Amino acid sequence: MPPFAPLQLLDDPIEWAAFSRLLDGASGLWESQVLVRGMRCAACSVAVEDALRSVPGVHSAAVSASGQRATVRWSAQTVMPSRWMQAVLTTGYHVLPANDAFAANARKLERRAALWRCLVAGLCMMQVMMYAYPAYTARPGDLSGEMESLLRWASWVLTLPVVFFSCGPFFRSAWQDVLQRRIGMDLPVALGIAVTFAVSTAGTFEPSGTFGREVYFDSLTMFVFFLLSGRWLELRLRDRTAGALEAVMNRLPDAAERQTPEGTFERVAVRRLGVGDLLRVQPGESFAADGVVEQGTSSVDEALLTGESLPLRRVVGASVLAGSFNLSATLRVRVQRVAADTRFAHIVALMEAASATKPTLARIADRLAKPFLLAVLLSAAGAALWWWDRDPERALMVAVSVLVVTCPCALSLATPAAMLAAAGRLAGGGILVRRLQALEALAQVDTVVFDKTGTLTQDRLGVQNVQTRPGVSRDQALAWAAALSRHSRHPVARALAESAMDQRADWVCSGVTESPGQGLSGQVAPRASAALADGASGLRVVRLGSAEFCAVAPLANAQSHAMLSDAQGWVATFFFAESLRSDAQACVDELQTAGLEVRVLSGDSQAAVDRVAAALGLKQARGGCSPDDKLQALRDLQAQGRQVAMVGDGLNDAPVLAGAQVSFALGQAVALAQAQADFVVLGAALLPVAHTVLLARRTMAVVRQNLVWALGYNAVCVPLAVAGYLPAWAAGLGMAGSSLLVVGNALRLSRTAPPDAAPPQAAAAH
């Protein structure tokens, strides 16, 4: 069967970048993210996965019913997107690219349709209950046969909109299950509705027949209303739990203003941007690509990308990130990275991978879904047979109650609902969850091991003190050094450049020469527009680096330092030191208060490690470790039965991050370290590590509560339904209520205080 025509538009390779990323150019392997609408349970996700995997050219597929997302890896040499999307359509579900412009509107329309179905069912239910009330309260002889028949016919007419409109999704989904020869959670519900309506219709048309003693239109409309109310509320709750994830994923604009060769600006699709393009970004718009500001000064919001909670000032020459917001003034930005090369794309890839992964408990629920539903059908049939000889009319209604009450929606939602709520809460605080199952493991951790350099300490040196010659102020010396340092990536140069963020804009540097291992030299001069407070002016040649390079007298037995000199000789000495992160102590204290042991493993010297450990009050600290040493130390801890979480940021941390039960990589970590980590902290803070551990424990507590409730609910209600003590309306209320309780309980996690990735003092520095 040819693909649905609109899907064929997605076969254009230009369109792939909007919802896919290239994994391997040689083999043409792509990974795509799509939204799958209409999934209700674990059985739905299994059906979609099976359909996708059956398409030649599809290497793998992971589908999350709770997240309504699918991650598909496919080869462009074998199959086009329209083909595997068509496979999803044939299973009865709807598919859209994950960042499709119509995806949000589609969800809105889905919620609106669900609300209309619920309102129609509620209105008809109230009218049917009015007509059923006399039959329950009338004494013998109060109702004539004609009056009772009239009330039944009126109830039947009012039930028709409920069955043929409000129940449409149940029947469509069940029919697709029959066509695909599978069992889904809507099949028992649809059977229950159909049987109840058929029995009641028979009693209405033939009052003297086998089923004429009683009709169940009131029970039917009531449990349909309860089911639809529960699903509508569940739909809203699901959107809320996934809201923080999508807030990041959907920050990229659909189009951007690009300068044409004639100098005017035109709006083009983001996927058509290229490196070197000049963009105009208005206030209130988000940046479409990573780039450098060429004109204008503004404030930008990078909270969800870097964890910085306050707006950051961006001037000419400053970098901006795709997905961040321009707040105050128009900027012109030269594009440096587009599409999958941007930091935004990297973050989205991490989040999409997490949203489609399945925790261990959820995978178990997926495997049990089909046999459980089969057991439901067999139980209903067995209950009907047992009651048939005693009371044929009651037998069918008992079967209906069993079909409805045992639908395992709550069981299938117990784990993923809590996990996604926690992941959304973490994403809102700047912590990305790469694998949802890591939350399970993190809740069991009893030992946290930190790298030192760049993890417990700042990833760069800091200027601790400045000594200057008479007539030169500290700010002036920093301004000259910063202007020179902008042309180097050396750690000392970076420290100086960042220590004079305000002053360096007043000076420019030219003719810069870098002597590896020695220093920098060049000419510094004030900008024409700069008004220098101390009256300094004029061009001067300066040197920055070692005492020998600057031709000045060296210091004896001094801490790490750099010299600045000019034609007159020594100008300033800058002293540097490695400093702890501002919240390192708070993070360690919180972990220890939670009962975890905290250790340090570092490649730095033992003396440097001991100083940091002493400052933090840690007794277990080991220095001089190679990557192999770190990995062996980790294995030794695991051999002792410890559950270990590793926190690092460097290339040499990648092996130990991969070997730990759970791992964290800080936002500035190299790509390889992030690729091995379970959690990525986007900001410059450590405290989110401790907060994530505590949230993981609360998440697993909620999962256990949900599982206990779901299993306990079935253990109590199934025997009642089989024994005939649970009417259909009560079964519908129980099924809807249990699912709603599970999702609502998980939603409490999204209201947890956010684990801020940027502490106030860190953010205020900007």
How many angstroms separate the CA atoms of 481 and 491, rounded? 13
All residues at 6 or more sequence positions from 697 whose CB lies less than 8 Å from its CB, including other chains: 443, 594
Tokens of 269: 């699709």
Would you call 389 a catalytic residue per the annotation?
no
User: Which residue, chain included where needed, has tokens 């970076």?
Assistant: 494
Phi and psi of 498, rounded to 5°? -80, -20
* Structural element, H or E, at residue 195: helix 186-205
Length of the chain: 766
User: Which residue, chain included where needed, has tokens 């990573």?
Assistant: 290
How many angstroms separate the CA atoms of 681 and 417, rounded? 22
Identity of the residue numbered 666: L
Query: Could you give the C-alpha distances from 671 to 275, 521, 643, 680, in angstroms and in order?
Result: 21, 33, 25, 11
Identity of the residue numbered 297: T
Give me the sign of the Cα torsion angle 309, 312, 317, 323.
positive
In 329-425, which ranges are E strands?
Answer: 331-337
How many angstroms separate the CA atoms of 497 and 325, rounded? 25
In 420-556, which ranges are E strands?
Answer: 431-433, 447-450, 462-468, 507-515, 519-526, 540-545
How many angstroms separate the CA atoms of 221 and 652, rounded? 64
How many angstroms separate the CA atoms of 87 and 85, rounded? 5
Per the residue annotation, which of 218, 277, 451, 649 is the catalytic one? 451
* Structural element, H or E, at residue 762: helix 760-764
All residues at 6 or more sequence positions from 266 whose CB lies less than 8 Å from its CB, including other chains: 257, 258, 260
**What is 80-136 written as a DSSP string?**
-HHHHHHHHHHTT-EEEETT-TTHHHHHHHHHHHHHHHHHHHHHHHHHHHHHHHHHH
Dihedral angle, C-alpha 94, 100, 101, 107, nearest 10 °: 40
Per the DSSP assignment, residues forming a β-bridge with 580 are 457
Per the DSSP assignment, residues forming a β-bridge with 644 are 447
Return the exposure string of 112-122: e unless at least 16 CB atoms fall within 10 Å of the residue's CB, then b: eebeebbebbb
Single out the residue of 755, 595, 592, 606 nearest to residue 689, CA to CA. 755
Neighbour-count burial of 269, counting CB atoms closer than 10 A to its CB (0-12 exposed, 13-18 middle, 19+ buried) = middle
Tokens of 223: 């449990």
Which active-site residues does the annotation give? Answer: 451
